[in-house]
Amino acid sequence: MNSRKKIPMRKCIASGEMKPKKELIRIVRSKEGEVSIDPTGKKSGRGAYLTLDREIILSAQKKNVLANQLSAHIDPSLYEQLLAIVDKEQQ
């Protein structure tokens, strides 16, 4: 038996890279159209993953990847929250 656990992989919507789920942050759009950061990865709704990397988040913001992926308006404050999470992770 293979005792190693399978690592769930997800695709970063900004870079297109497959990465372990732990290295990504999930952004979710609820049925009501509310977009929020989902650190647990358990909220119901349409999810999209971004790599926890300042450059990738800024590039996603510039290209409007999240808005296209989730078909919803993304408030600039969401990107600020994401950048704050990245800064916290890297300390």
Query: Which domains are assigned to the chain?
Result: 9-89 (3.30.1230.10)
**Span 20-29, pLDDT tens digits:** 999 999 999 9
> What pTM value is reported for the model?
0.88
Q: How far apart are CA 63 and CA 79, in angstroms?
A: 12
Q: Is the pLDDT of residue 48 over 60?
A: yes
**If 0-12 CB within 10 Å is exposed, 13-18 middle and 19+ buried, where does residue 66 land?**
buried
Q: Is the pLDDT of residue 2 over 70?
A: no
Return the ∠ at Cα 37 (arms to 30 and 75), rounded to 5°: 80
Tokens of 38: 């989902």
Closest by Cα among 55, 41, 44 to 10: 41
